[in-house]
Structure 1
Amino acid sequence: MTEGHQVDEIVSQIGPKLRALRTAQRHSLQQLATISDVSAAAIHKIERNGMVPTITTLLKLGTALGVPVRYFVEEDDQPPEPVHYTPSDRRPTVYTPHEGLALAGITGSYRQFQTAAAMATVTPGASSGAKRMQHPGEELVHVTEGTLTFQVGDQTFSLSAGDSLHFSGEVPHRWANDGDHPAKAIWIALRNG
């Protein structure tokens, strides 16, 4: 492979890597624009390979998504990973913009698999905010400790230990820990395509 072709190949992967990471973390274009200070239009163009981002833009996007700049420009010389093992003491921290929500990853690469899951710890009083979220894909939350409240569409669900909630991300939703104790849950997101 020539150097020029190699560079083109690396640059052409920035858009798909950004889109895969954004959707796996369940951010809309507008949500990512807000937390990264990069316009939604620019993010859309980058994802479709219609624009090559500057290093400053990549730094902003990487910071917002919790990955180093090298994530976007490293060559993928690793073969596809058909199986991923995550030991309990080596769960990676998954970036989230929500204060009071800590996520420890339990799934493989966002680029390899359609499912992203984490062990979630939600402090008392934490929530996803007043504005309801919408995104492609599905979510499945299984509470293992404490309580969580979800508003999905026009329904409200109070989940206690052992309860699960599975819903389409297209339905406007929000979550909160209205209890006095931290809540723990297995939180799974299934991407579309």
Structure 2
Amino acid sequence: MSLRDLAARAQASPGFISQLERGLTSASVGMLRRIAGALGLTVAELFSEDDSTAHRVVRRAERPELPAGPGTRKHLVSQRPLQNLEVYSGEFDPGASTGDEPYTHGDAQEILLVLRGTALLWIGPPGAAAAHRLEAGDSAEYRTATPHRLENDGDGPLEVVWMISPPTPS
């Protein structure tokens, strides 16, 4: 992430971020929270000298679960601090979806991989979205700034993986 990108995401000036990085100024707790959020970190992680990003193993049962709609479970596979890639797994009961409306998040490259089941993926603005039926092993690639929506279109469970690079802001 460039200094200008970080400044924009943290709602700060590039000059302030540059001075902070070089130790020429200090930041308020509020500013540290915004910087940490822009980097996908907690404030505590900003000050941690632990290099736990070199090698990590996360068991399926230990993945953090994220809020999701009815009949949907979404877990973070990649662990914080996010570096260059974020990965999520998703499980959808029959008929469950990411919501009634297409959504966007940031402007990154996203790959959706269907592991099990049948998905219906809409890509594009409401009323003009292209529908794609995806089976196990199929994938789709699109920008996260493009409206998209996913639904379990099968009779059984749907299991997918989303891979996003660079990580999108929360």
1:169 aligns with 2:140: no
Cα RMSD over matched residues?
Answer: 2.6
Cα distance, 1:166–1:131 mapped onto 2, change above 3 Å: same
Q: 1:112 to 1:172 in 2, by over 3 A?
A: closer
Structure 1 residue 103 displacement after superposition: 2.4
1:131 partner letter: E
**Secondary structure of 1:97's match?**
coil
Q: What is the TM-score when the length of structure 2 is the normalising length?
A: 0.67
Listed as ranges, the matches of 1:112-131 within 5 Å are 112-131=82-101
Structure 1 spans left out of the alignment, 5+ residues: 1-6, 22-70
Relative distance call for 1:129 and 1:120 in structure 2 (3 A) is closer
Paired residue for 1:94? 65
- Superposed, 1:109-188 pairs within 5 Å as 109=80, 111-135=81-105, 136-153=107-124, 154-188=129-163
Between 1:89-98 and 1:117-126, the stretch displaced more is 89-98
Distance 1:177 1:20, change over 3 A: farther
Give, in angstroms, the shift of residue 139 of structure 1.
1.6
Relative distance call for 1:138 and 1:94 in structure 2 (3 A) is farther
Q: Deviations over 1:19-41 (max 9, x none)?
A: 444xxxxxxxxxxxxxxxxxxxx
Aligned position for 1:66: none
Quick one: percent identity of the two aligned structures?
Answer: 21
Quick one: distance in 1 between partners of 2:62 and 2:165? 19
Relative contact order, CA 8 A, sep 6+: which one is greater? Answer: 2
Inter-partner Cα distance in structure 2 for 1:78 and 1:94: 26
**Total equivalences in the alignment:** 137
